[in-house]
Amino acid sequence: MSEKIVAEETTAKTSSDQDTVELAVSTKAQRYITKVDFRLIPVLGCTYTILFLDRTNIANARIEGLEKGLNMPANGYNTCLWIFFIPFVLIEIPSNIIMGLPRVKPNIFLGLNTIILGIISMCQGLTHSYGGLLALRFLMGIFEATLPAGAAFLIGEYYTRREASLRFACFFTFGVLGPCISGLLAYGIRNMNGIEGKEGWRWIFILEGIFTIAISFLVFLVVPNFPEKTKFLTPAEKEHLLHKLHADKGDQKLTLKSVPWFKVLSDYKIWFPTLMFFCCDMTAASMSSFIPTILTELGWKAARAQVMSIPIWLTGIVFQLFGCWVSGRVGKRFPFVLFGIATVLVGWIIQLVYSNNKGLSAGIRYLGLFCMSGGTFLQMAMTTSWMTNNLRGRASIGVGTAIILGLGNCANFVAANVFIKKEAPFYPTGFKTGLGLTIVGAAFCLIFVALLWHHNQNLNKKRGEIGGEDDQEEYRYVY
């Protein structure tokens, strides 16, 4: 039986988010999609896990004595949080541009950054001064910036619009696993207090740094090159993959030469999802940084607080995977984003009511954290997928993923400064800020949908008069 892959174009449904060509291929030929999934998602997902491990391990270390151990000032912990994001935001766009250059291999680029990051992470557990910790947090921001943006960039290049939603959900799920693992590890590692003369909080940094170094070797060995240069697929599989991507996305510009950078950088299809991501990341940043502290202030001791944080993050995983799977089936994005926003609003309102009514049951506040986790992580995966669905060309996808995961994460600056220590455990400033930004995110979502709908209506009218098909410059948007 011939190994040649047969592909033919069919008419795309106008109600679908695809409006692209469906390909009829043999079952045997389709098996390579699973091969791509296993080659990309687990390892690249682990790089995103590292990001959330590094965000949450400092929160876990805090309740194990970090501030006292380094004689940190009153606002020292908050400073450690926001100083990380200064280089993180600035480096992501240049990083993706470098990774997209013809002679740069993604596995080498991401692998080197991962191993350096692991070494720096370990050093956090070895430093004996507050200034040293600040310097290490700044360096971590530089090398960690390359990982989530680069991983999302590569994933966006391998999948069609229909396929991308669930794959981004799986990718972001690894991020949610970070806090789960961090809480579990912190619960176990805290018992290492005193070993080799080091406090328990130091071992949290050291062992999780070793984990990062281990992941770097997998990145070197497993992560593939971009689709047109990949070598892990057979020639027939590679040909079909490129044919399928071309049918879905048109004749994309794959080089970074002669790119209209002003047009790319000013594209509203990048900036509206980024603003939406920023608003929902306020919730994720607040949770990552302060859940262990909030749980201890609800009356649980440090050990139990570490464990009680795990179900909160698992809820985010369930919402994320199920929501993105359904979204891929029905071909819509914005209803799921709005549902996530509504769920988060419930969580913030509970926290705000608690801060104004000290007699409210602590269990209700705990329930609010589940609402926040489920809603915010559904939004993060869906918004990133939604953005890449509406971009064309390697330059746009590379810059778009860098901006949404770089500037979108600037919410961490806000979260690090509105949860004021003297307002604990009720944090009225933090809760009001989170609620307000969530409402603003809903407004951005509605405006974005209106712009996409308006574009499609104009395109339908134009094509009704002169005809035409989707290409690199002119195509229907997904909403």
Q: What is the mean pLDDT of residues 374-397?
A: 90
Alpha-carbon distance of 152 to 333, in angstroms, equals 18
CA 272-343-18 angle, to 5 degrees, is 50
Over 70: is that where the pLDDT of 211 sits? yes
- Please tell me the least confidently modeled range out of 370-374, 392-396, 446-450: 392-396
Give Cα 334 to chain centroid, integer Å.
18
The whole-chain average pLDDT of the chain stands at 83
Full DSSP string of 392-406: -SHHHHHHHHHHHHH
Give the per-residue pLDDT at 471. Answer: 66
Paired tokens of 182: 């961090």
Radius of gyration, CA atoms only, the chain:
23
Q: What is the mean pLDDT of residues 145-153?
A: 89
Q: Tens digit of pLDDT for each residue in 54-64?
A: 766 787 788 77
3-state helix, strand, coil in the chain (%, to 5): 75, 0, 25
| CB atoms closer than 10 angstroms to residue 83 | 20
Over 50: is that where the pLDDT of 70 sits? yes
Domain residue ranges of the chain, discontinuous segments joined by +: 33-229+267-455
Cβ burial, residue 31 (10 Å; 0-12/13-18/19+): exposed
Alpha-carbon distance of 335 to 340, in angstroms, equals 9
Quick one: residue 470, left, alpha or beta (phi over 0 = left, psi -120 to 50 = alpha)? Answer: beta
Q: pLDDT-derived band of residue 248, with 50, 70 and 90 as boundaries?
A: confident
Say which residues have a Cβ less than 8 Å from residue 454's Cβ, sequence separation at least 6. none
Q: Between 197 and 148, whose confidence is greater?
A: 148
What sign does the dihedral 163-393-336-18 (CA atoms) show? negative
For residues 87 and 141, is the Cβ–Cβ distance under 8 A?
A: yes
Q: pLDDT-derived band of residue 10, with 50, 70 and 90 as boundaries?
A: very low
Give the per-residue pLDDT at 3. Answer: 39
Over 70: is that where the pLDDT of 466 sits? no
Task: Give the closest residue to 75 by CA, choosing from 436, 407, 417, 397.
Answer: 417
Q: Tens digit of pLDDT for each residue in 175-191?
A: 777 666 766 676 677 67
Q: Tens digit of pLDDT for each residue in 291-338?
A: 766 777 777 776 677 678 778 888 988 999 999 889 888 888 999 999
| C-alpha separations of 421 from 80, 172, 332, 426 in Å | 14, 30, 41, 10
Q: Tens digit of pLDDT for each residue in 111-144?
A: 999 999 999 999 999 998 999 999 999 999 899 8
Q: What is the mean pLDDT of residues 355-363?
A: 70
Quick one: residue 152, left, alpha or beta (phi over 0 = left, psi -120 to 50 = alpha)? Answer: alpha
Q: What is the mean pLDDT of residues 343-370?
A: 83
Alpha-carbon distance of 95 to 154, in angstroms, equals 13
Q: What is the mean pLDDT of residues 459-472?
A: 70
Alpha-carbon distance of 263 to 257, in angstroms, equals 14
Q: Between 180 and 165, whose confidence is greater?
A: 165
Quick one: residue 81, left, alpha or beta (phi over 0 = left, psi -120 to 50 = alpha)? Answer: alpha
Alpha-carbon distance of 117 to 45, in angstroms, equals 16
Alpha-carbon distance of 406 to 277, in angstroms, equals 10
Say which residues have a Cβ less than 8 Å from residue 186's Cβ, sequence separation at least 6. 57, 60, 61, 64, 204, 292, 306
Alpha-carbon distance of 180 to 175, in angstroms, equals 9
Give the per-residue pLDDT at 18. Answer: 42
For residues 85 and 410, is the Cβ–Cβ distance under 8 A?
A: yes
Q: Which CATH architecture has domain 33-229+267-455?
A: Up-down Bundle (1.20)
Alpha-carbon distance of 8 to 143, in angstroms, equals 44
Over 90: is that where the pLDDT of 362 sits? no
Over 70: is that where the pLDDT of 166 sits? yes
Q: What is the mean pLDDT of residues 152-158?
A: 90
Give the per-residue pLDDT at 468. Answer: 63
Give the per-residue pLDDT at 359. Answer: 63
Question: Which residue shows structure tokens 């996305």?
Answer: 249
For residues 256 and 22, is the Cβ–Cβ distance under 8 A?
A: no
For residues 223 and 154, is the Cβ–Cβ distance under 8 A?
A: yes
Paired tokens of 168: 């981004």
Q: What is the mean pLDDT of residues 222-237?
A: 90
Q: pLDDT-derived band of residue 1, with 50, 70 and 90 as boundaries?
A: very low
Give the per-residue pLDDT at 25. Answer: 43
Q: pLDDT-derived band of residue 13, with 50, 70 and 90 as boundaries?
A: very low
Q: What is the mean pLDDT of residues 13-36?
A: 54
Over 90: is that where the pLDDT of 344 sits? yes
Paired tokens of 86: 């200064």
Paired tokens of 228: 């047109």
Alpha-carbon distance of 98 to 93, in angstroms, equals 9
